[in-house]
Amino acid sequence: MPRVLIVGTLAAELGQAARMAQARGARVAQVEGVTAALARLRAEGADVVLCELHHDIGWLVRAMAGERIACPLIACGPETDPQAALRAIRAGARDFLPLPPDADLIAAMLQAAAGESAEDTPPTARDPAMAALFARADQVARAEASVLITGESGTGKELMARRVHAASRRAGGPFVALNCAALPESLLESELFGHEKGAFSGAVAARKGKFEQAEGGTLLLDEIGEMDLRLQAKLLRAIQEREIDRLGGTRPVKVDVRILAATNRDLGAEARAGRFREDLYFRLDVVRLHIPPLRERRGDILPLADLFAARFAEINGLPRRPLSAEARRALLAHDWPGNVRELENALHRAVLMAGGEEIGAAAIELRRAPPAAQPAESP
């Protein structure tokens, strides 16, 4: 459930955008100006900020960067203003949403904010191994144990984490995900544990980290294998003591959070090689859920392809078209090294490129990785 912070007055067209977001499951909060927005972000965080163009977007973007608040900002303004999008991007906005709002654009914005793509695809488990895995996930969800979710990139590890959260006793609390590979160590520490005012240059106010934002709910540490050893030690203490230390803080903060971790690495091998703390590994690997690659569960390929084709037709305002028999054979013949995410991208392109009443094989662009470079021969 993405959290949307709207900066502006909930009247007329912006209010319409808020209602569209709520109808698609978003939690919407609203403030009147950029200073109030910054205060709200410090206290509660958000997945995306939607800001009216007449506010000082540049100031808010700089303030968020200075306080290490990693959250995309989307500007919104009248569709009749041809320069609006250009001004928004120059001010530092990630994107521009024209008003009056379009339901498909709102859906795409929320999808991106929630990090959906392959990771948030509704469960599709025709393959017996995946059906058994979903049943196991539902079983372990009822416990409080830490869960380690493993699998290649693009297999749907965040989806599995969301499933565990939704079936747990913490389902009424927040689900907060943090990609440990997406941030440098200094920023990751602040994002995870929060900071006090003056903890570093630009920290003009205290800010809650992901642990505190997930209070009473579930925290997913995605790509945990990329975390620095020093930060692993701090994380281990937080899990053991159920308390965290903010950057610049003088007193620990108690937290009530269930930890889920995900990785595409072999953490056991990483621990034996000294690149991952063995004690943290055993703390995280109480229950393991391993997601097999798509090439090993071919019974899921066509149901997922049909799901993606329908989704992207709706998002792009195009008619729903079935996959031709030739297209289906091409999909089944491919090895899918990028797993579900690669399949999703292929179907998105196919929906946009296809002509006629079916999505034919010609629209299915299957991109293979280039061959490895060969060493030059000695003269």
The CATH class that applies to domain 295-363 reads mainly alpha
When comparing pLDDT for 349 and 97, which is higher? 349
Q: Are 197 and 42 in contact (CB under 8 A)?
A: no
Two domains, one topology: 128-290 and 295-363: no
When comparing pLDDT for 70 and 291, which is higher? 291
Task: Report which of 154, 53, 68 is spatially closest to residue 98, judged by C-alpha positions.
Answer: 53
Instruction: Say whether pLDDT at 117 is over 60.
Output: no
Q: What residue spans define the domains of the chain?
A: 3-114, 128-290, 295-363
Q: Are 74 and 95 in contact (CB under 8 A)?
A: yes
pLDDT in tens, 214-243: 999 999 999 999 999 999 999 999 999 999
Distance, CA of 237 to CA of 370 (rounded, Å): 43
Question: Would you list the DSSP string of 97-162?
Answer: EEES--HHHHHHHHHHHTT-GGGGPPP---SHHHHHHHHHHHHHHTS---EEEE--TTS-HHHHHH
Instruction: Say whether pLDDT at 84 is over 80.
Output: no
Give SS3 for 45. Answer: coil
Distance, CA of 322 to CA of 356 (rounded, Å): 10
What is the predicted pLDDT for the residue at 60? Answer: 93
Lowest mean pLDDT among 104-118, 132-146, 307-321, 327-341: 104-118
Instruction: Say whether pLDDT at 53 is over 50.
Output: yes
When comparing pLDDT for 360 and 315, which is higher? 360
CB within 8 Å of 40: residues ≥ 6 apart: 5, 29, 31, 46
Task: Report which of 341, 345, 361, 358 is spatially closest to residue 312, judged by C-alpha positions.
Answer: 345
Q: Which two tokens stand for residue 173?
A: 């609390």
**CATH superfamily membership of 3-114:** Response regulator (3.40.50.2300)
Q: How many C-alpha atoms does 81 have within 13 Å on its Cβ side?
A: 16
Instruction: Say whether pLDDT at 376 is over 50.
Output: no
| Model-wide pTM > 0.85 | no
When comparing pLDDT for 44 and 263, which is higher? 263
Q: Which two tokens stand for residue 336?
A: 């899918």
pLDDT averaged over every residue in the chain = 85
Question: Would you list the DSSP string of 174-191?
Answer: -EEEEETTSS-HHHHHHH
The domain 128-290 is placed in CATH, from the list 3.20.20.70, 3.40.50.300, 3.30.450.20, 2.40.160.100, at 3.40.50.300
Distance, CA of 8 to CA of 69 (rounded, Å): 20
pLDDT in tens, 198-208: 667 666 677 88
What is the predicted pLDDT for the residue at 30? Answer: 93
- The residue behind tokens 């097999």 is 292
Distance, CA of 114 to CA of 125 (rounded, Å): 22
Calculate mean pLDDT across residues 45-73.
Answer: 86
Residue 262: band (very low, low, confident or very high) from pLDDT cuts 50, 70, 90: very high
